[in-house]
Chain A
Amino acid sequence: MSKSEKSNQEIFPSPQAGRVRGLDYLKQLEAESIHIFREVAAQFERPALLFSGGKDSITLVHLARKAFAPGKIPFPLVHIDTGHNFPEALEFRDWLANEVGATLIVRKVEDTIKQKSLTEPKGKFPSRNWLQTYTLLDTIEEFRFDCCIGGARRDEEKARAKERIFSVRDEFGQWNPKLQRPELWNIYNGRIHKGENVRVFPISNWTELDIWNFIRKEKVDLPSIYFAHERKVIEHEGQLVAISEFVQPDASDVVLTKKVRYRTVGDMTCTAAVESNASTLDEVINEIISTRISERGETRIDDKVTEAAMEDRKKNGYF
């Protein structure tokens, strides 16, 4: 029998062959992410993993660890610290970097504001979210990173739904949606010119619920603020915002003590809490399944400003 005849026969097995082996959808997503991580390590000279302390970047670290086991993660974790972080998230960040034996690089938005005399955002919720871009671009330049791995997911937002897994940015960090490279099969082209940079999103195809199911299945540790706890909050346009050194109540605000958890972990100035009694992963996941509000809509104060908010930020070099 010739080679081609043999192959044809084997590729189209008889219906009786039945199911031998198959991967659960979560394992398929994991396989895809690990493949992407290994491509990054092989294709780039100086990659870095952008770490925020949130569940998505924690998942990234967990996947990276699997991709390179028994070796260590072959790139540093980089945190762009706005100075408005939850202390629990910072503590967790330091613990995790130590736990996986990764180098942790922290660069502060505070320092960029001083060096570049940037104008601090004002108002009751002074978000430094937008200013992170400056610090990020400086950090990329300082360490000559040619690739930054991020935890963005396509289900989060309309602009992200259109971004490639390997997203080439020019030397200003800008995304050009009309000039994206075709991304074919599982072949990733990370070639760039000097000064350019690639943002790579290994969990592009995961949804919020996929992340939570993975965290549960793999028993991934999370910062405590993801679980219900008591906190002093004010209500702002239907969202609960924690009182902190960065957000102070006005005379008109009613300060309430509520049992809350966070669904996303960003800055204290732009992340809202949700009322909750969920103190275990199972309870958190059950709540998420039964809520009919999207993650960004529920917990991000800054995305509501304009419908194209994320698209604008990405075009300007944002994650």
Chain B
Amino acid sequence: MDLLRFITAGSVDDGKSTLIGRLLYDSKNILIDQLEALEKSTKNRTDGSVDLALLTDGLRAEREQGITIDVAYRYFTTPKRKFIIADAPGHVQYTRNMITGASNASLIIILIDARQGVVEQTRRHSIIASLLQIPHVVVAVNKMDLVEYSQDIYNNIVIEYAEVAKQLGLQDVTYIPISALDGDNIVDRSEKITWYDGKPLLEFLEEVELDHDINLTDARFQVQFVIRPQTEELHDYRGYAGKVISGIYKKGDKVTVLPQGISTTISKLEVNGKEVEEAFAPQPLVIQLSEDIDISRGDTIVKADNLPRVSNELEVLLCWMDDKPLIAGNKYLLQHNSRLVRAVVRNVEYKLDVNSLQQQPVEGNVKLNEVVKATVKTASPLVYDPYTILSVNGSAILVDETSNSTVAAVLLQQ
């Protein structure tokens, strides 16, 4: 059984929480006491129905205001797959939470209210999906019950969204007409939307092909921690622990350690304390090398015939996530997987309008939720791939050294 991580995005009243509640409810992943708690809190409602949205609204402030403050994670399993849902809030001011939830997702469900069609939030969410290169997009046209299950309305939305998808270069887009409230096309095929002959949502989520989402070609490994037991039996042992970011490593591979640029050979590979002949992404691995080289946390071990970029002058897209603005010339810490280097944001070239993707001049400082193209210089070189080619080795964060906050998502460019 494999694992699908997906994110749901929609504007405030698109029925996102209801959809998640419905997925959990209809796939029998809601348990008796949770239902009881739910019924207790819906007792005061006039129509007597259970409010599935309450299943996902966690914190007290959220229940009081009827909104979602932060990304919440939900879990459910069917006989075919385990699912992890990142439930990201819809409203404008929490775009950073959506990026947080989307950064680990391989699929995004974008909810559209059938009565509203494509709105500003839809574009914004789609742009984030495209920036972060989420491999699979599902456009769920919700509240079909409120438009009398009209095929024309649905078709118009599909045409409208297809334009957005084309503009953003979204590759794999699937459209499903649903009613989260009534459960149409969620788990079972809708009896009311007879003109739709595709899969219901859950079936699609269970069957979407994920095998090609992991890159097994470009071998990338970064050292997280050096294991040196220094015991009597293991007094010379020196193993480099880390995760295979992408690709495959084999015993005997000729490798290069970067940024040092030293060539050597893999003498031993261990996964969970057991020797193996090969390891692949995303396995945790310990590498031993045939030569004694000075290697520490953050150094990269790659195959000698497939090298990433090594540079301390970086072109980046920054998604700014802090209340304090970005001031060009400021120094930050840049964390690329486990490598932490000092960095200065030198030049902010332009701002990307997250509603139209147009490049706009930057006036003043860069504020929360803005996406900008910038150049960054780091104190020592970064070993990376462009995000668009190998996202797992092309992403980083900026940390404000004075507040220790994570202030930006960094997408490394060409």
Contacts and interface: CB of A to CB of B under 8 A. Distances in A.
A307 B41 contact: yes
A181 B273 contact: no
Contact of A204 (B37, B73, B385, B405): B73
- Majority secondary structure of chain B interface residues (helix, strand, loop or mixed): mixed
A27 to B, nearest CB: 8
Given A42-B225, A154-B75, A31 B282 contact: yes
A187 B397 CA distance: 8
B43 to A, nearest CB: 13
Interface in B25-76: 31-34, 37, 41, 57-61, 69-75
Contacts of B225: 38, 41-42, 68
Nearest to B284: A34
9 contacts: A11-B218, A28-B282, A34-B243, A67-B284, A71-B237, A161-B74, A178-B69, A185-B395, A189-B406
Interface string A64-75: 011111111000
B406 A181 contact: yes
What 9 A-B pairs are tightest by C-beta distance, nearest first?
A69-B273, A297-B33, A158-B58, A10-B217, A25-B3, A71-B229, A34-B284, A66-B272, A38-B224
Interface residues of A, number: 71
Given A22-B2, A28-B3, A35-B224, A186 B104 contact: yes
B234 A31 contact: no
A12 B135 CA distance: 12
A207 interface: yes
Interface string A261-280: 00000000000000000000
A17 B286 CA distance: 28
A312 to B, nearest CB: 8
A111 to B, nearest CB: 33
Given A7-B389, A308-B60, A162 B72 contact: yes
B151 interface: no
Contacts of A178: 61, 69-70
Contacts of A298: 33
B282 A294 contact: no
Contacts of B69: 162, 177-178
Nearest to B215: A11
B3 to A, nearest CB: 4
A294 B31 contact: yes
Given A11-B215, A70-B227, A24 B1 contact: yes
A311 B59 contact: yes
A184 interface: yes
Interface in A187-233: 187, 189, 191-193, 204-205, 207, 209-210
B72 A185 contact: no
- Most interface-central of A25, A72, A293 (chain B CB within 10 A): A25
B323 to A, nearest CB: 10
A77 to B, nearest CB: 18
B11 to A, nearest CB: 20
B229 A187 contact: no
Interface in B185-234: 211-212, 214-218, 224-225, 227-229, 234
Nearest to B278: A21
Contacts of B82: 25, 210
Nearest to B297: A42
Nearest to B227: A71
A183 B100 contact: yes
A193 B404 contact: yes
Contacts of A10: 215, 217-218
Contacts of B333: 191
A165 B216 CA distance: 27
